[in-house]
Chains A and B, each alone.
Chain A
Amino acid sequence: MNIKHEIQGEIRIISLREERLDAHNSDLLKSELNSLFESGAKNIVIDLKEVRFIDSSGLGVLVSGFKNASARQGSLTLCSLQNQVRSMFELTRLHRVFDIYTTIDEALEHF
């Protein structure tokens, strides 16, 4: 899985360089998130700008990352959702659970 990592103070930014987040690659994102949490990270921003399609496996990894961050008094926020991805969040009502921003900068401002 192609992922770009950035660190801004205590915030880790993960930019997914994939067109799809689905059953074929969601486990890889899960491992990335788990190793971030294990290294002590609590606040994570996931940039989904390049993701055109997400399925329930992809959503599952984001939900589990969200719960993991919350359990550590941290947060997992999302930014730059494309149309299909946004529709999935609206269908599942997860857009009312996650903090979702238009850009990385906007997400960072809210910490």
Chain B
Amino acid sequence: MEIAQQIQMSLLPDAAPDIPGVEISGRCISAAHVGGDYYDYFCCGEHRCDILIADVSGHSVGAALIMAEVRTLLRAQIGAARSTSTILQDINSQLYEDLTRAELFITMFYAGYNAATGRLSYSNAGHNPPLVCRSGGDGCSELDAEGLIIGVKPAVLFEEREIELQRGDVLLLYTDGLIEAMNGDGEMFGTDRVCRQLSQVRLLPTAEIIDSFYRSLYEFTGSSSLQDDVSLVVVRLA
């Protein structure tokens, strides 16, 4: 399990990409029972920044190795300027056989942000929909798009959607460990609690927004360790 954890942690980005006007932070805190969380961000050209979050099912070295394969495939296509739906479609067809053999699957949300136009296009392979908290509004909304999890069928089409982001908008990408964390009464942390908190802390620096969520999780569960991996990526347009 320690090996899986070491592989997992070594694959996560250690610094945010340098895109003017975009502040990004990401963190993964592993549970004792390691999962297959993965997030990444990379820039292609002057204006495009890709951001993704994924969860490989299972808790094993196998899941960590699949994660390494995902990362290699994704990084190999940086700069190819392909649509988010095509990227997910290719990942699914490239990994289908390996995932079937390993009896695993992947959920993944993939977004491409164009800093020149302010447009964020995104596709989703059955991952928890990220939340967006708009600078002008109250509350937050989910970024969801149609798409099956990766590794179930050899060929899958993914919907691609787009929103225009504005200064001050905050995005939260997360893995299921956040909303499924349970307290002593068997109650889950849940999406509503995440939404309320995001609205309250959205003006903080992105790294502090992440701190605040981990603090709330520890308070909620009354434990100093997590039941499952929890990964969070926060993006703010400055």
Asked if A55 contacts B59 (CB within 8 A), the reply is: no
Asked if A60 contacts B153 (CB within 8 A), the reply is: no
Kindly list chain B residues whose C-beta atoms are within 8 Å of the C-beta of A63. Answer: 103, 105, 151-152
Asked if A94 contacts B57 (CB within 8 A), the reply is: no
Specify the chain A residue showing the minimal Cβ separation from B100: A67
Specify the chain A residue showing the minimal Cβ separation from B156: A93
Kindly list chain B residues whose C-beta atoms are within 8 Å of the C-beta of A56. Answer: 35, 55, 57-58, 105, 107, 176
Specify the chain B residue showing the minimal Cβ separation from A64: B103
Complex CA gap A25/B105 in Å reads 18
Asked if A60 contacts B105 (CB within 8 A), the reply is: yes
Decide yes or no whether B237 CB sits under 8 A from chain A: no
Complex CA gap A91/B108 in Å reads 12
Specify the chain A residue showing the minimal Cβ separation from B147: A93
Asked if A93 contacts B58 (CB within 8 A), the reply is: no
Complex CA gap A37/B132 in Å reads 45
Decide yes or no whether A1 CB sits under 8 A from chain B: no
Asked if A60 contacts B103 (CB within 8 A), the reply is: yes
Decide yes or no whether A3 CB sits under 8 A from chain B: no
Q: Is the interface of A mostly helix, strand, loop or mixed?
A: helix
Chain A contact residue count (CB 8 A cutoff): 18
Asked if B104 contacts A93 (CB within 8 A), the reply is: no
Decide yes or no whether A23 CB sits under 8 A from chain B: yes
Given A93-B147, A97-B148: A60 touches B104 (CB 8 Å cut-off): yes
Specify the chain A residue showing the minimal Cβ separation from B148: A93
Specify the chain A residue showing the minimal Cβ separation from B33: A23
Complex CA gap A66/B103 in Å reads 11
Kindly list chain A residues whose C-beta atoms are within 8 Å of the C-beta of B33. Answer: 23
Complex CA gap A108/B99 in Å reads 30
Kindly list chain B residues whose C-beta atoms are within 8 Å of the C-beta of A55. Answer: 176, 180, 228
| A49-72 with Cβ < 8 A to chain B | 55-57, 59-61, 63-64, 66-67
Specify the chain A residue showing the minimal Cβ separation from B106: A56
Provide the B98-121 mask, 1 if CB < 8 A to any CB of A, else 0: 001001110100000000000000
Asked if B126 contacts A93 (CB within 8 A), the reply is: yes
Q: Which of A23, A30, A92 contacts B107 (CB 8 A)?
A: A92
Kindly list chain A residues whose C-beta atoms are within 8 Å of the C-beta of B103. Answer: 30, 60-61, 63-64
- 23 residue pairs of the A-B complex, CB under 8 angstroms, read A23-B33, A23-B59, A30-B103, A55-B176, A55-B180, A56-B55, A56-B58, A56-B107, A56-B176, A57-B57, A57-B58, A57-B59, A59-B57, A60-B105, A61-B103, A63-B152, A64-B103, A67-B100, A92-B149, A93-B146, A94-B148, A97-B148, A97-B153
Chain A contacts to B: CB under 8 angstroms? 23, 30, 55-57, 59-61, 63-64, 66-67, 91-94, 96-97
Chain B contacts to A: CB under 8 angstroms? 33, 35, 55, 57-59, 100, 103-105, 107, 126, 128, 146-149, 151-153, 176, 180, 228
* Contacts A56-B35, A92-B126 known; 5 new A-B pairs at CB < 8 A: A23-B59, A55-B228, A91-B126, A93-B148, A94-B148
